Amino acid sequence: MKTDNRQIISPRGDAEGAAYILGIESSCDDTSAAVLKDGFLLSNVTASQAVHEAYGGVVPELASRAHQQNIVPVVDAALKQAGIEREQLSAIAFTRGPGLMGSLLVGVSFAKGLAASLGIPMIDVNHLHGHVLAHFIKEAPPSNSPLKGEDSGQKISPLRGDLEVSPSFPFLCLLVSGGNSQIVLVKSYKEMEIIGQTIDDAAGEAIDKCSKVMGLGYPGGPIIDKLARQGNPDAFTFAKPNIAGYDYSFSGLKTSFLYNLRDWLKDDPDFIEHHKCDLAASLEKTIVDILMKKLRLAARDLKIKQVAVAGGVSANTGLRNAFHDYARRYGWQIFIPRFSYTTDNAAMIAITGYFKYLDKDFCPMSAPAYSRVSEQ
Ligand code: KG4
């Protein structure tokens, strides 16, 4: 049975008729909820799941269970921090996919239940669009904002600062996370064309796997980043892919890292301990070079000067530095997200939802979660 929620939109908000959007994100291992008022962020609360650290990667079953525990307190905290009652909400935006099915189902089911009980529309959001549109998150000016960057004991994203400039269309976005490495041509809030993407591993996945091989913790990205700051990026060379167009490949690099390390360990069993900073710096440099080369090619061919970066790997210091370097060399206007908006967060889901809300682009109650974009 198909239900069209367009019929049940009801005016909510406050006396001024403001639109309050609740965003919910649960695609992987972060449970996050955010509230926007007329497009301005009032709260963004995230509970991260430390349970996966012991396993060297996200365990889907454990992630779903943790989402179940976190979703109610996280949404409550987001509403409280925003200073609104749930009855004031105008719509609920939620990540429908892609991601881990069990994790998504928690957020999707919660969103459906809450929307049904309040009689308000639901807005489905593609998680990857959320990452790209994180560049449009506007925090309310400090005088109007309830955001205090407070920490409730869980790992809450700190929020502070004032308004920033957003890119204008069309722009290019390098979307790099644990599951994706894409060059996206962003034509509008809704029209996004993937012009290049990895044919095997994602950049974040490669970093995480190399970190695991070195016996470092999970996720590897922040650890490699920290070690790389003290290492020589030219100490070692690893294989770089040679594929056509704007596509990426990181599996060859991962294998080259593994095989080289195996040989070096034969001569020196403590090789990793002796060289971990240089290994991290050289690995980071190789990955950043691969990412930037294709991005530069796309920007040059398409004659686009506004270039953004998004996703978990956009927190990487080497990659951020490379963006500044390319801005100087090629006259790019660059857009680098705040750290709190690099990893998965509900603020990006809420802002994407807000744009769809303005278009009355709602989804039916029957909308299922999807783990891959192709299942949408
Ligand atoms: O976007 P994200 O939080 O999750 C999804 O994959 O959806 O990205 C996680 C990825 C992980 O591979 C993690 O190691 C990487 O982002 N990462 C970093 C850094 N912080 C997180 N990679 C490099 N440098 C960092 N500072």
C-alpha 325/C-alpha 320 separation (Å) is 9
Rounded distance from Cα 299 to ligand 1 centre (Å): 24
Which residue CA neighbors atom 18 of ligand 1 most closely?
Answer: 221
For the stretch 11-36, what's the b/e string if a residue is b when 16 or more beta carbons lie within 10 angstroms of its beta carbon? ebeeeeebbbbbbbbbbbbbbbbbbb
C-alpha 111/C-alpha 130 separation (Å) is 17
Per 3-state DSSP, what percentage of the chain is helix, strand, and coil (rounded to 5)?
Answer: 45, 20, 35
What was the pLDDT predicted at 12? 63
Beta bridge partners of 181: 176
SS (H, E, C) 314-335: HHCHHHHHHHHHHHHHHCCEEE
- Which secondary structure element, helix H or strand E, spans residue 23, and what is its range? strand 20-25
Q: What is the CA radius of gyration of the chain?
A: 21
C-alpha 105/C-alpha 256 separation (Å) is 38
Query: Which atom number of ligand 1 is nearest to the Cα of residue 344?
Result: 3
Nearest partner of 42 among 165, 164, 159, 166, judged by Cα: 159
Strands 122-126 and 91-97: parallel
Rounded distance from Cα 174 to ligand 1 centre (Å): 13
* Torsion, CA 271, CA 272, CA 274, CA 277, rounded to 10: 140
Ligand 1 neighbours, Cβ below 6 Å, are: 28, 177-179, 204, 207-208, 219-222, 225, 311-313, 315-316, 343-344
C-alpha 212/C-alpha 111 separation (Å) is 36
The one-digit pLDDT tens for each residue of the chain (376 residues) are 434 443 344 456 666 789 999 999 999 999 999 999 999 999 999 998 888 888 878 899 999 999 999 999 999 999 999 999 999 999 999 999 999 999 999 999 999 999 999 999 999 999 999 999 999 999 876 555 555 443 333 332 333 333 468 999 999 999 998 889 999 999 999 999 999 999 999 999 999 999 999 999 888 999 999 999 999 999 999 999 999 999 999 999 999 999 999 999 999 999 999 999 999 999 999 999 999 999 999 999 999 999 999 999 999 999 999 999 999 999 999 999 999 999 999 999 999 999 999 999 999 999 999 999 888 8
Q: Where are the alpha helices (DSSP H) in 51-182?
A: 60-82, 101-118, 127-133
What are the C-alpha distances in Å from 273 to residues 45, 78, 233, 270, 363?
37, 43, 17, 5, 53
Rounded distance from Cα 207 to ligand 1 centre (Å): 9
Q: Which residues contact 205 (CB under 8 A, 6 or more apart)?
A: 178, 179, 250
Number of H helices, E strands in the chain: 9, 11
Query: Which atom number of ligand 1 is nearest to the Cα of residue 343?
Result: 3
Rounded distance from Cα 181 to ligand 1 centre (Å): 11
Give the residue, out of 133, 225, 343, 372, with the most ligand 1 atoms within 8 A of its beta carbon, to mutate for a pocket test. Answer: 343
Which residue CA neighbors atom 11 of ligand 1 most closely?
Answer: 178
Rounded distance from Cα 205 to ligand 1 centre (Å): 8
Rounded distance from Cα 306 to ligand 1 centre (Å): 23
